[in-house]
Structure 1
Amino acid sequence: MPTKSSYPDVEIPDTDIWGFLFERKDRPYPDDKVIYVDPYTNRSYTYAQVKNTAVDFGKGLKALWDWQKGDVLALFTPNCIDTPSITWGAHWAGGIVSPANPGYTAEELAFQLQDSGAKALVTQLPVIATARKAAAMAGIPEDRIILIGDERDPSLKFKHFTSIRNTSGATRYRRTKANPEKDLAFLVYSSGTTGHPKGVMLCHRNIVANTLMVAAGEGGNMSWKGGLDGNGDSILAFLPFFHIYGLTVVIHQCMYSGFRCVVMPKFDIENWCKIVQDHRITFSYVVPPVVLLLSKHPVVKKYDLSSLRMLNSGAAPLTKEIVDAVHSKLNLKVKQGYGLSETSPTTHTQPWELWYSTIGAVGTLLPNQTAKYMSPEEKEVPAGEVGELWITGPNIFKGYLNNPEGTKNALTEDGYFKTGDVGYQDKDGNFYITDRVKELIKYKGFQVPPAELEGLLSSHPKINDCAVIGIYNKDQATEVPRAYIVPSPGTEGGKGTEKEIMDWMAAKVASHKRLRGGVRFVDEIPKSVSGKILRRVLKIRAQEEEDAGQKARL
């Protein structure tokens, strides 16, 4: 039987995101509560300032460009405390927001602008050249490129969003309400770990539901007041706001629950540690590479991280070895969660009190959802057996934009989303994710999960980072696991170290999981900004190595 969440269902109000956040009757914190803080400039937004800025921006969109319901506003910007107001201002005006990776090339950004049908583009001055080029490729006029952040355009060619807010005649406009179930709030694009990004259509109800589900999952362990300095819990936000992880669990959750959100434009290990110390951060949503850095990087010892009550890791599997390492070194607690862009995103999280007793699990199913693990033949498997995770609930996306075939393959007729992730649940209802369906290495009929091997390798003292992929071996007519490894400082990545690592690994895993594809030493592991290993990049590298080897043998 499918597993229903053990949490009581939460009541999901029949409203759009604007009504949910700004017209609610049960907001526990005052208008002057500071929500978003820039730690570098000390610029900040209170709840009231976010709301007023959003309304003014939304009115400006309507007055300046006759903004219509369903028009798409694209964001191409590093994290910024102006982003929430811009986002909800677009929603106030009836628009859809499509955030893009600020690391994109002009060609990559142009694809998203064209695919989403964006009518305007919000960016920052440091990336204006790329934004300008992409807008031209996508047919967006230059007068529809808007700047946010602290820097203005010295040429005065591009408007700052503050001038959009002050557009003449804007005061007469009223809010455009959205149908929470039917109207889209966001078009987020998949990270492209396995190919071309897909536009994930998320409606208002999806985000409202998931915000409430996450709040329930944190179980009252976080508060908007009290704590170390009377300001309640403080979240350090470096997760990219263009990614659904940061978009929901950071931007929306902080505004809904009244948490102070200290915003980093991008991750840097020393800055992260310094901000935790200086701002007395109590909670941070992280990704496994950050947890790994905390366990290994020498700079961490310079800072006082004792204010941190919990870290929550998501976006990729986190292993017991990494959790143990950071806890034993720094006494930091790290629980794990799970979700996808298509699930708005969070579907599971470990209860705070079970963070250590269930290490390796992604937690229990959040409220209002039902899940099951399915065999390759699409038959449900019992608890303890491995299968593909399928989930249904109010947080499940509406489909992929302009991709009916992809939508049909992902969503069942009875509303389940096929996650593409492999795992199992135990008898106590804890869920485990072992790998992606497409990333499993098939060695002579055995399935080898790369994430499991990566977790073990990460605990080796001579390894700073790693990734495992399957390489086809013609002699054995099967895939074999190969590790790409970033050696620790002072470690030589030669034949001796390769043999040492392979022998060490062989003693820890079953025969079919051994690194028969060998070890390759690299300067860095390619990853998406959300921390997912880009295995396709490594597979291309492996093919190039194979081709080069064949030429050398000729």
Structure 2
Amino acid sequence: MGSSNLLYRLVEDNLKTAPESVAFIEGDQNISFQQFDRLCREKESWLRSQGVGKGDTVAMWLVNSSQWLAFFFALARIGAVLAPLNTRYKSHEIGYMIEKSQPRLLIMQSQFRNINFIDIFNQIDEGALRSLEKIAFLGADEILPDSLSGIAVTSTEMSGTESSSEQVQDDSSVCILFSTSGTTSGPKLVMQTQENLVRHGHYCASSYGMTLPDSALLSVLPFCGAFGLNAVLAAMAAGCPTIIMAAFDGREAASLIQKYGVSHVYGSDELYRKLIDAAEGDKPFPSARLFGFGAFTSSFNDYALAAWERGIPLCGLYGSSEVLAIFSSQTGERPVQEKIRGGGVPAARELVEIRIRDAASGRLLPAEETGEIEIKGPTNFIGYLNNPEATRKAFTDDGFYRTGDLGYLRGDGSLVYESRMGDAIRLGGFLINPSEIESVLKSIPGVEDAYIVGVEIDGKARVVAFVQDDGSATLSEEAIIDSAKRKLAGFKVPYRVWFVDDYPVTKSANGLKVQRGKLRALAQDNLQEGA
């Protein structure tokens, strides 16, 4: 137990050095660290008045705002745990998260743009809501119901008083539950501590150049996910301002980057497509220093290279809720082709150990050989909430986290991420990265995008492809297979090709991810039906 890395240190350090400096820019409002401190203490006072104490869990279903952050820091001061809910989620997903995290209190808003949160909440199975004692609406001006699903309703309107209570002095306490992307059995809840978040914020601030003069972060991803929140905490550790977007819009983001001279953005490839498409001019963002991205679709490389030609420094990232987002970045002097790959050098540098293990033999692999990425570092999570079996399976006996990701180490020790283990396919005795085959298919004239999955056909592991065409050429299944045969080993050539208009995707706090499991099921159905 200790207090050196309490989350609130990120506020207090700035209060000591530059209390009037800008912490957040929200709309037309500049919020100083001193003002943010006052807001946090008001939220803490309200939370305590609602009976929230150390160890309690509070769920929060809000879009990005300074109030979201103030509630989070207030909960940390109390020693309570935040269960953030994704505003993209619908009733089934929200119900699942509430049932898993067991919060006493839910803080939510009634509406945002075309999202009616009350309507969504009313569709939740009441059995999932048993832990909830109260629902509080954020600064609601409209008339609210007395209850929802039999749960008492109140408002978070403040009296204006500040908390005088001492914060809980335990930086090893769990302060947030991040949701994983999820499997067929539903997402797991990743427990992260105050000290992990604070240390990681400082590692990122120093390693990614956020402490340099004139640094500014544009926050573009939801705070409910590690990707969005870790970026903001890094900016706070650096003492540089964060421009908050309640929800991402490409044209607005481009304008904000230019208006405030933004140096850092961290987002998904999907997001960058919208941002860069909206940017005008040959060199639209002269202030940009690091625009880090996580690649969740397989067709981004050419786009990223084109962005570099416009002076937009897109660098691949690696991270997860378990080791925290923006864990590593492809910074430093290396060719652009290498900078746009996932992975890089960890923000915590020499404090992190990364090794690669062959999944079949269990043998540790040398540089340049692909296997499962294992990580041991100061920001490793402490476990999955109420799931000791999954926690046990996630770690090796000597404390390395089994990421479930495929990649390799370069000769200089930096990481290259290739794909999820579940995406990798063993063909002809070799473990194959799907992106290798997909990149060949996408090089065929007329192919807009392509995804492959592995299926069993006549007792053999084969690959099949799902292709989107761009309308510029006449494509056929036979032509694509013939082209692939000229470029790939026989065992990598798709056995079948199907044309699709859209891919099944799942929404996460970090962006859209193509669901290969659903593609695999569709392929099996097509094969059975002779399609």
Same fold (TM over 0.5): yes
- Whole-Å Cα distance in 2 between the matches of residues 142 and 541 of structure 1? 39
2:495 is matched with which residue?
A: 516
2:36 is matched with which residue?
A: 50
Seen in structure 2, the aligned counterparts of structure 1 residues 378 and 47 have a Cα distance that, compared at 3 Å, is same
Deviation larger for 508-517 or 234-243: 508-517
Instruction: Give the deviation of 1:79 after TM superposition.
Output: 2.3
Deviation larger for 422-431 or 459-468: 459-468
Matched position secondary structure for 2:312: coil
Partner of residue 367 from structure 2, selected from 361, 383, 395: 383
Instruction: Give the deviation of 1:321 after TM superposition.
Output: 3.6
Instruction: Give the deviation of 1:108 after TM superposition.
Output: 1.6
Letter in 2 for 1:192: G
1:113 is matched with which residue?
A: 98
Instruction: Give the deviation of 1:266 after TM superposition.
Output: 3.0
Note the alpha carbon deviations across 1:432-479, whole angstroms, 9 max, x for none. Answer: 1111112112223222212334455556674444433223323xx233
- Whole-Å Cα distance in 2 between the matches of residues 204 and 418 of structure 1? 22
Letter in 2 for 1:444: G
* Match status 1:432 vs 2:413: no
Letter in 1 for 2:12: E
Instruction: Give the deviation of 1:89 after TM superposition.
Output: 1.2
Matched position secondary structure for 1:442: strand
Matches within 5 A, 1:150-549: 152-155=141-144, 159-161=154-156, 163=157, 165-166=158-159, 174-181=165-172, 183-192=173-182, 195-218=185-208, 221-223=209-211, 225=213, 232-249=214-231, 251-292=232-273, 297=277, 299-301=278-280, 304-314=284-294, 316=296, 320-328=301-309, 330-354=310-334, 356=336, 358-359=338-339, 360=341, 362-367=343-348, 368-376=351-359, 377-455=361-439, 462-474=446-458, 477-488=459-470, 490-491=471-472, 496=475, 498-529=477-508, 530-531=510-511, 532-547=513-528, 549=529
- Whole-Å Cα distance in 1 between the matches of residues 21 and 246 of structure 2? 22
* Match status 1:87 vs 2:57: no
Letter in 2 for 1:536: G
Matched position secondary structure for 1:308: coil
- Whole-Å Cα distance in 1 between the matches of residues 170 and 345 of structure 2? 30
- Whole-Å Cα distance in 2 between the matches of residues 172 and 326 of structure 1? 48
* Match status 1:129 vs 2:109: no
Note the alpha carbon deviations across 1:318-344, whole angstroms, 9 max, x for none. Answer: 76544323223x332211121111112
Instruction: Give the deviation of 1:425 after TM superposition.
Output: 0.9
- Whole-Å Cα distance in 2 between the matches of residues 339 and 365 of structure 1? 9
Instruction: Give the deviation of 1:113 after TM superposition.
Output: 1.0
Do the aligned partners of 1:73 and 1:118 also contact (CA within 8 Å) in 2? yes
Do the aligned partners of 2:103 and 2:131 also contact (CA within 8 Å) in 1? no
- Whole-Å Cα distance in 1 between the matches of residues 66 and 449 of structure 2? 32
Seen in structure 2, the aligned counterparts of structure 1 residues 378 and 371 have a Cα distance that, compared at 3 Å, is same
5+ residue gaps in structure 1? 1-11, 226-231
1:6 is matched with which residue?
A: none
Do the aligned partners of 1:95 and 1:185 also contact (CA within 8 Å) in 2? yes
Seen in structure 2, the aligned counterparts of structure 1 residues 187 and 264 have a Cα distance that, compared at 3 Å, is same
Do the aligned partners of 1:234 and 1:260 also contact (CA within 8 Å) in 2? yes
- Whole-Å Cα distance in 1 between the matches of residues 411 and 129 of structure 2? 55
Seen in structure 2, the aligned counterparts of structure 1 residues 388 and 132 have a Cα distance that, compared at 3 Å, is same
Matched position secondary structure for 1:324: helix
1:228 is matched with which residue?
A: none
Percent of aligned positions that are identical: 23
Instruction: Give the deviation of 1:498 after TM superposition.
Output: 4.6
* Match status 1:59 vs 2:49: no
Do the aligned partners of 1:16 and 1:178 also contact (CA within 8 Å) in 2? no
1:78 is matched with which residue?
A: 63
Matched position secondary structure for 2:217: strand
Do the aligned partners of 2:369 and 2:408 also contact (CA within 8 Å) in 1? yes
- Whole-Å Cα distance in 1 between the matches of residues 450 and 64 of structure 2? 27
Do the aligned partners of 2:41 and 2:163 also contact (CA within 8 Å) in 1? no
- Whole-Å Cα distance in 2 between the matches of residues 463 and 31 of structure 1? 54
Note the alpha carbon deviations across 1:52-105, whole angstroms, 9 max, x for none. Answer: 1111111111112x2121111112223233211111111122211111222222
Do the aligned partners of 1:210 and 1:345 also contact (CA within 8 Å) in 2? no
Seen in structure 2, the aligned counterparts of structure 1 residues 154 and 404 have a Cα distance that, compared at 3 Å, is same
Superposed CA RMSD in Å reads 3.1
Seen in structure 2, the aligned counterparts of structure 1 residues 23 and 46 have a Cα distance that, compared at 3 Å, is closer
Seen in structure 2, the aligned counterparts of structure 1 residues 93 and 462 have a Cα distance that, compared at 3 Å, is farther
- Whole-Å Cα distance in 1 between the matches of residues 35 and 490 of structure 2? 60
- Whole-Å Cα distance in 1 between the matches of residues 287 and 162 of structure 2? 45
Do the aligned partners of 2:95 and 2:129 also contact (CA within 8 Å) in 1? no
Do the aligned partners of 2:374 and 2:400 also contact (CA within 8 Å) in 1? yes
Matched position secondary structure for 1:481: strand
* Match status 1:102 vs 2:84: no
Instruction: Give the deviation of 1:121 after TM superposition.
Output: 1.2
- Whole-Å Cα distance in 1 between the matches of residues 215 and 336 of structure 2? 22
Letter in 1 for 2:85: A
5+ residue gaps in structure 2? 112-116, 147-152
* Match status 1:20 vs 2:9: yes
Note the alpha carbon deviations across 1:198-254, whole angstroms, 9 max, x for none. Answer: 011111122122112212321xx33474xxxxxx222222212111111112x2112
- Whole-Å Cα distance in 2 between the matches of residues 105 and 25 of structure 1? 38
Deviation larger for 425-434 or 348-357: 348-357
Instruction: Give the deviation of 1:192 after TM superposition.
Output: 1.1
- Say how many residue pairs are matched: 512
Seen in structure 2, the aligned counterparts of structure 1 residues 510 and 217 have a Cα distance that, compared at 3 Å, is farther
Matches within 5 A, 1:2-13: none
Matched position secondary structure for 1:206: helix
Matched position secondary structure for 1:363: strand
Letter in 2 for 1:204: Q
Letter in 2 for 1:61: L
Matched position secondary structure for 1:247: helix
Letter in 1 for 2:218: L
Letter in 1 for 2:352: Q
The structure with higher relative contact order (CA 8 Å, sep 6+) is 1
- Whole-Å Cα distance in 1 between the matches of residues 169 and 297 of structure 2? 36
Matched position secondary structure for 2:461: strand
- Whole-Å Cα distance in 1 between the matches of residues 362 and 516 of structure 2? 26
Do the aligned partners of 1:321 and 1:456 also contact (CA within 8 Å) in 2? no
Seen in structure 2, the aligned counterparts of structure 1 residues 505 and 210 have a Cα distance that, compared at 3 Å, is farther
Letter in 2 for 1:331: G
Instruction: Give the deviation of 1:534 after TM superposition.
Output: 2.1
Do the aligned partners of 1:291 and 1:322 also contact (CA within 8 Å) in 2? no
